[in-house]
Amino acid sequence: MKGDFELLERDGLARICRFETAHGKVETPAIMPVINPNRKVISASEMRARFGVDMVITNSYIISRNRELREKALKEGVHGLLDFDGTVMTDSGTFQTHVYSDVSVDPSEILEFQRAIGSDVATVFDVFSEPDFTLGQAENAAAVTAARVKEAMSSKRGGSLIAATVQGGLYPEVRERTARRLGEEAPDYFTIGGVVPLMEEYRFADLASVIIASKKGLPPGRPVHLFGAGHPLMLPLAVLLGCDLFDSASYVKYAYDGRMMFPEGSIALSDLKYSWCDCPVCSKHAPAEMASMDENESVLSISEHNLYILTSELKRIKQAIHEGSLWNLVEARARSSPQLFDAYAEVLSHSNYLSRFEPMSRRSGINFVDGLSLKRPDFARFFASASGIRPGKADRLLVVRGERQYFSHYDFTSSDIGEDTASLTGVGIFPIQITETYPLAQSNYSAAMECAEKPDSYSARFGYGAWRIADGRWRRMGAGANKPDRLSQALIVCEYQFGRKYAEALLSGDVQCTYSRNTGKLRSIMRDGRQLLFFRTEDGLFSVKFHGGEVLHGVLAKGTMSVECSDDAIPFVSVGKSLFSRFVTDADEALRPGDECLVVDRAGNLLAVGRAVLRKEEMLSFGKGVAVDVREGRSSSASSRQSEDTK
């Protein structure tokens, strides 16, 4: 349905979504090349055919001011004017007010014109907030913009989706407050405006602050477009912060200046002697050959190269989201530019906000390079939780060190009875039982990194009577090795994942551990012949089975770790079908994407267990897509037990 926005994959705030318009579906993150109808270097239809562009943007103000363009657009529609059968967004002329102070635009007229020419996404005329605005000026720009959005939504008619722009200068509180106010008007699409000067001046730290403040206030179930962001250098960072769409005239503006874009920056063609780029343009023409072309041919070639770089960078970003490695990409790119590095440091200063969207584990581990890597939200949360867990109840402590420490591969023959064991790594000291849990076993560490905490302070923190340090004995478990206490491992991992109280509830009574004969790793936790938990070897955490969900449901406070669904979803969820967002009525605010959760009905009865895909506010905001990936339902669990009983 037109206006639908569905989340397909995510990596924290970054996401791959499907946005549906009257002229097709657009997969985000996506770049919208700016089409100037007065000067088309590359046609919109060619962009779709050669570059895979599904959405473009053009300026309705420019079209409306040119009689020939205006008449053709009103007669044939903006799609006919541009010769493009994909999605077209139109800007309102706000940017022209930034560039030319004497521009006059009637907000109602320009919106109606956009609707009249059949724009898929029409932008409300907003007030551009300059970076040097005072607080009063920024608040006024935001207030006038919000009032225009309110008027546009109250008189909404026609087939265009409505885009509302978040303004507010460099004042985070104004940006967030304005975003919330705009969200209350329920437009179809949001843009973050007033940021072009920041990008032109490489003020990426300010840009990051503006994006984060805006995202805090915006409803998560709508597309977010960063206006004027068209350089590959900052695209990974903007996507990391939750931006979905970008528009770019830079691909052609840079070409007129003779500059070629690359992910690490731009280089003047006149300075380029050796080309390492293998795009179709650079594969066909050497730098010297492009430099000898006439101006029109050179502009065309560089424009095509720049578009290839932009579209390929977004594919790289999407792959990183799919892998769960976007943080690694952003950190690597940040180290290529001092200004981008400052922006990355600004991002890390918002760790508390970002951690709400960070999963307990990812497909890809962390590349720990230095102390900055340790400040990533997912590791900061791991450290805060895991470093507070005591390795056991003994009075003495053994601290072992060595490369690639895995609990299942440690030869406990070397340990004395009555000793707790902790593992010394480059990023901290942790109970040895958690060494197979993300991110310790899944990540890469620089050999130059040294643990900030020393064994003596660690021992004193937990009140050990004595401690010693030794090199670990790591080997595959064999006949002569003393096997590890897997129940101890289960308890420590459960304490980290669910909390001590719930770990003890899950592992009380006569529980049994099963393990892999091939790897020696923990596999399942059983009680009364039924599976409570399944140990995921890929991240060293537990998946909750329905019986485990019953145990947790019996001790958790109402609503804790739970997602509540409407009556319509009960028949599907109970047999193990995924829970979709439109059927969610409430959820625990503490749940993060990837967390184990319980699905309950309105009365609080347990229906299923699974993993949350979205946070509460996302579940209630997205009108389409999966909210909980259900693993096992009440009915499917009962059928499975009945089948086992009859064998």
- The DSSP result for 297-314, as a single string, is HHHHHHHHHHHHHHHHHH
As a whole-number percent, the residues of the chain with pLDDT over 90 amount to: 81
Does residue 57 carry a pLDDT above 80?
yes
- Phi then psi dihedrals of residue 15, to 5 deg: -155, 150
| Tokens describing residue 18 | 């499907």
Does residue 433 carry a pLDDT above 70?
yes
**Would you tell me how many other CB atoms lie within 10 Å of the CB of residue 1?**
6
pLDDT at 75: 97
- Supply angle C-alpha 371, 236, 449, rounded to 5: 15
- By three-state DSSP, how is residue 4 classified? coil
pLDDT at 415: 62
59 band by pLDDT with thresholds 50, 70 and 90: very high
DSSP secondary structure letter of residue 131: T
Does residue 94 carry a pLDDT above 60?
yes
pLDDT at 641: 53
Under 8 Å between Cβ of 127 and 95: no
Does residue 480 carry a pLDDT above 90?
no
Please give the residue that has the higher pLDDT: either 239 or 470. Answer: 239
Under 8 Å between Cβ of 340 and 416: no
Does residue 412 carry a pLDDT above 80?
no
- Residue 114 within a domain: yes
Tell me how long the chain is. 647
- By three-state DSSP, how is residue 609 classified? strand
pLDDT at 143: 96
Under 8 Å between Cβ of 379 and 366: yes
- Residue 93 within a domain: yes
- Known active-site residue 342: no
Under 8 Å between Cβ of 240 and 642: no
Its domain, for residue 142, covers 5-249
- Residue 164 within a domain: yes
- Helix then strand then coil, in percent of the chain rounded to 5, is 40, 20, 35
- Residue 275 within a domain: no
Tell me the torsion sign for CA atoms 389, 390, 391, 392: negative
As a whole-number percent, the residues of the chain with pLDDT over 70 amount to: 95
Does residue 481 carry a pLDDT above 70?
no
CA 123 to chain CA centroid, Å, is 26
DSSP secondary structure letter of residue 410: B
Mean pLDDT lowest among 388-392, 407-411, 439-443: 407-411
pLDDT at 475: 60
Q: From residue 360, how far is each of 74, 265, 575, 594 by CA, in Å?
A: 52, 33, 27, 7
Output Rg (C-alpha) for the chain, integer angstroms.
Answer: 28
CA distance 110 to 113: 5
- Residue 360 within a domain: no
Under 8 Å between Cβ of 47 and 53: yes
- Residue 157 within a domain: yes
- The DSSP result for 501-561, as a single string, is HHHHHHT-SSEEEEE-TTT--EEEEEETTEEEEEEETTTTEEEEPHHHHHHHHHHSPTTTT
pTM of the model: 0.94
Q: Could you give the angle at which helices 326-334 and 295-323 cross, rounded to 10 degrees?
A: 130
**Pairing, β 584-587 against β 562-565:** antiparallel
Does residue 575 carry a pLDDT above 50?
yes
Q: Could you give the angle at which helices 107-116 and 135-154 cross, rounded to 10 degrees?
A: 50
Which CATH number does the domain housing residue 100 bear?
3.20.20.105
Tell me the torsion sign for CA atoms 293, 299, 302, 308: negative
User: Which among 619, 586, 614 is positioned nearest to 600, based on CA atoms?
Assistant: 586
- Residue 22 within a domain: yes
Final residue of a structural domain among 190, 221, 249: 249
| Tokens describing residue 261 | 């874009």
Under 8 Å between Cβ of 203 and 131: yes
pLDDT in tens, 523-543: 999 998 899 999 999 999 999
Under 8 Å between Cβ of 175 and 168: yes
Does residue 410 carry a pLDDT above 80?
no
Task: Please classify residue 232 by burial: count the beta carbons closer than 10 Å to its beta carbon, then call 0-12 exposed, 13-18 middle and 19+ buried.
Answer: buried
**Pairing, β 161-166 against β 121-123:** parallel
| Tokens describing residue 149 | 């959005």
- By three-state DSSP, how is residue 140 classified? helix
Q: What is the 3-state secondary structure (H, E, C) of 433-483?
A: HHCCCCCCCCCEECCCCCCCCCHHHHHHHCCCCEEEEEECCECCCCCCCCC
Which CATH number does the domain housing residue 613 bear?
2.30.130.10
Please give the residue that has the higher pLDDT: either 95 or 547. Answer: 547
Q: Which residues contact 175 (CB under 8 A, 6 or more apart)?
A: 142, 166, 167, 168, 169, 210, 213, 214, 217
pLDDT in tens, 291-319: 999 999 999 999 999 999 999 999 999 99
Rounding to the nearest 10 degrees, give the CA dihedral for residues 457, 460, 462, 466: 120
| Tokens describing residue 564 | 């509540």
| Tokens describing residue 307 | 């578009």
- Phi then psi dihedrals of residue 117, to 5 deg: -90, 5
The number of helix segments (H) and strand segments (E) in the chain equals 25, 29
Bridge partner residues of 596 (DSSP): 611
- By three-state DSSP, how is residue 121 classified? strand
188 band by pLDDT with thresholds 50, 70 and 90: very high
Q: H helices within 261-337, ranges in order? A: 280-284, 287-291, 295-323, 326-334
Q: Which residues of 519-549 are buried (b: 16+ CB within 10 A; e: fewer)?
A: ebbbbbbbbeeebbbbbbeebbbbbbbbbbb
pLDDT in tens, 221-232: 999 999 999 899
Does residue 580 carry a pLDDT above 80?
yes
Q: Which residue carries 């969820």 as its tokens?
A: 573
pLDDT in tens, 34-43: 999 888 899 9
Final residue of a structural domain among 227, 249, 271: 249
**Pairing, β 522-527 against β 530-536:** antiparallel
- Residue 498 within a domain: no
| Tokens describing residue 314 | 């977004």
User: Which among 160, 167, 216, 159 is positioned nearest to 189, based on CA atoms?
Assistant: 160
Does residue 642 carry a pLDDT above 70?
no
To which H or E segment does residue 189 belong? strand 189-192
Q: From residue 450, how far is each of 125, 241, 348, 389, 399 by CA, in Å?
A: 54, 30, 21, 21, 15
Of 54, 91, 420, 539, which residue is the catalytic one?
91
| Tokens describing residue 193 | 């405006």
Under 8 Å between Cβ of 489 and 410: no
pLDDT, averaged across the chain: 92
User: Which among 10, 592, 105 is positioned nearest to 352, based on CA atoms?
Assistant: 592
Does residue 157 carry a pLDDT above 80?
no
DSSP secondary structure letter of residue 245: E
Rounding to the nearest 10 degrees, give the CA dihedral for residues 403, 406, 411, 416: 90
CA distance 513 to 504: 15
Final residue of a structural domain among 228, 249, 270: 249
Count of the separate structural domains present in the chain: 2
DSSP secondary structure letter of residue 374: G
